[in-house]
Amino acid sequence: MADIDGGRVERPGLEVDLTGRTAVVTGARAGIGRAIADAFVASGATVISVQRTEPDGLGDRFRFVPADLTDSDAVAGVVEQILGEHRVDILVNNAGVNIRHPFQQFPLDEWDQVLRVNLRAVAQLTQALGRPMLARGSGTVINIASMLSFTGGFTAAAYAASKGAVGQFTKSLANEWASQGVNVNAIAPGFIDTELNAPLRADEVRNRQILERIPAGRWGDPADIAGAALFLASGAARYVHGVILPVDGGYLAR
């Protein structure tokens, strides 16, 4: 268990057997991606981690394939390598980047960088790894959306645009692929204690405002998201398609 802001956070307790299945998880070096990868490995899956930096503590069923997700040629090469060695049963599009500027000052090259990672790479990986899923009639795609799939945020126009698009992409693809045996869903994390959110936690005023808005009274832990991913990857979610599942401590209900 982890102690977060005085509250107790239990690790995922969902009993899921993923033995014999292979999952590709982008951005699994740390934070949400690492929590999902660890939960999948603990449930019997082989996990292939895709990002620039190698995670610590790799085991026999936790592997690393380096890739710059802003480079579409590099992504294509990674897909070819993975499919040459593995049958991919689960894809978790977790990797994401957020660059903040007031929009009138937002450099468009940085706008493009955010959308290349948060949207273009998601589409490219899903298309390439989804084709074999469709061919055999089974598979799971889990996209990591955001609270900014629902709300506008502040000084995060590129991130909000990309995560809004991820939500709509998830629903659109579910319409196409559900009848072919492939589940496509998304998780929308609330305010989770990760590197990406470190500046918000360090801002005393903003941190207080966020906590006042969350009925659960605490920031989320990456393990909270891992539990939702285990559910969506399991047979218990076989009739779940096109959902954007908020895991937010009640933030959107406020």
pLDDT tens profile 222-231: 999 999 999 9
Query: What pLDDT does 15 receive?
Result: 77
* Among 249, 251, 246, residue whose Cα is nearest residue 4: 249
Beta bridge partners of 185: 142
Catalytic residue among 159, 169, 219, 251: 159
Q: Which two tokens mark 161?
A: 């645009």
Q: What is the mean pLDDT of the chain?
A: 94
Question: Is a pLDDT exceeding 90 seen at residue 31?
Answer: yes
What pLDDT, on a 0 to 100 scale, did the predictor assign at position 6? 42
108 has a pLDDT exceeding 60: yes
Q: Which residue has the higher pLDDT, 119 or 13?
A: 119
CATH superfamily of 18-192+222-245: NAD(P)-binding Rossmann-like Domain (3.40.50.720)
Task: Using the structure block, give the residue that is written with the tokens 């969506």.
Answer: 232
CB-based contacts of 64, cutoff 8 Å, min separation 6:
48, 49, 50, 54, 55, 58
Would you say how long the chain is, in residues?
254
Residue 251 bears catalytic tag: no
Which tens digit of pLDDT belongs to each residue from 160-182? Answer: 999 999 999 999 999 999 999 99
